[in-house]
A = this chain, B = another copy of it.
Amino acid sequence: MPRTKGDHEARRRDVSEAVWRVLAAHGFSGLTLRAVARELGATTGLLTHYFPTKNDLVAHALDLLERRSAARPRRAADQGLAAVRAALLDILPLTAETTAGNRIWVSSWDTALADPALSDDYGRKYAQSRDKLRDLIATAQRSGELPAQDPARVAAAAQAFVLGLVVQALFDPAAFPPERQTQLVDDYLAALTSRPPATAHRA
């Protein structure tokens, strides 16, 4: 019986799922054709049909990470400070699924930093993410929920805060359960709201 297009696409999805599970368990340093084949219950030979080289496998993994991150469920888009809060919480490893996604992101930094073009691409991605956060912060400032300050500067700091919280939560989940992460985000927002409009510069 000839293989149909549907079979082919189902197979591709299975392969992608296996790549994701290998990444979630072993990171990019553990991503090999052999590990994916084992996860899939297939031969390494079959995998080379999809990924002729290790670079093809890594490129697929990075693409998968980007697509899954873009498609991940997000909190309903509120307005003002609630929207800022939702955007920050959306980044954190608060569930098993978002923990896996974050673990793969953090793992991908090694690969990304080693490749100048990819590193630039990551730099642009984080800049876009800061820009979105900046716009949400500016809206909260206009509604008076946040004091007037350079919103780009506030966004850069807030993004730094959540990225670092991701890293700490991944290495020490016992010290950073979801309620602790949420509490720290709320502390952060409380400090923002009480911040004086012009911050003093320390030499």
Residues of A within 8 A of B (CB): 26-30, 85, 103, 106-114, 119, 122-123, 126-127, 153, 156-157, 159-168, 170-172, 175-176, 180, 183-184, 186-192, 194-196, 199-202
Please, how many angstroms separate the alpha-carbon atoms of A156 and B177 in the complex?
Answer: 13
Instruction: Verify B184–A112 contact, CB threshold 8 A.
Output: no
Given contacts A126-B172, A160-B165, 18 further A-B contacts (CB under 8 A): A26-B114, A29-B29, A29-B114, A106-B110, A107-B109, A109-B167, A109-B171, A113-B170, A113-B171, A153-B184, A156-B180, A156-B184, A159-B164, A163-B167, A167-B167, A189-B202, A191-B192, A191-B195
A176 proximity list for chain B (CB < 8 A): 156
Q: What residue of chain B has the Cβ atom nearest to residue A202's Cβ?
A: B186
Instruction: Verify B194–A195 contact, CB threshold 8 A.
Output: yes
Copies in the complex: 2
Q: What residue of chain B has the Cβ atom nearest to residue A122's Cβ?
A: B171
Instruction: Verify B201–A27 contact, CB threshold 8 A.
Output: no
Instruction: Verify A190–B199 contact, CB threshold 8 A.
Output: yes
Chain B nearest Cβ from A200, distance in angstroms: 5
Instruction: Verify B114–A172 contact, CB threshold 8 A.
Output: no
Known interface pairs A85-B202, A189-B202, A195-B191; A126-B168 also in contact (CB < 8 Å): yes
Complex A-B: 5 CB contacts under 8 Å? A29-B114, A107-B109, A123-B175, A164-B166, A194-B195
Interface centre among A85, A110, A123, A196 (most CB of B within 10 A): A110
Chain B nearest Cβ from A65, distance in angstroms: 13
Known interface pairs A153-B187, A194-B194, A199-B187; A160-B161 also in contact (CB < 8 Å): yes
Chain B nearest Cβ from A23, distance in angstroms: 10
Instruction: Verify A167–B170 contact, CB threshold 8 A.
Output: no
A184 proximity list for chain B (CB < 8 A): 153, 156-157, 160
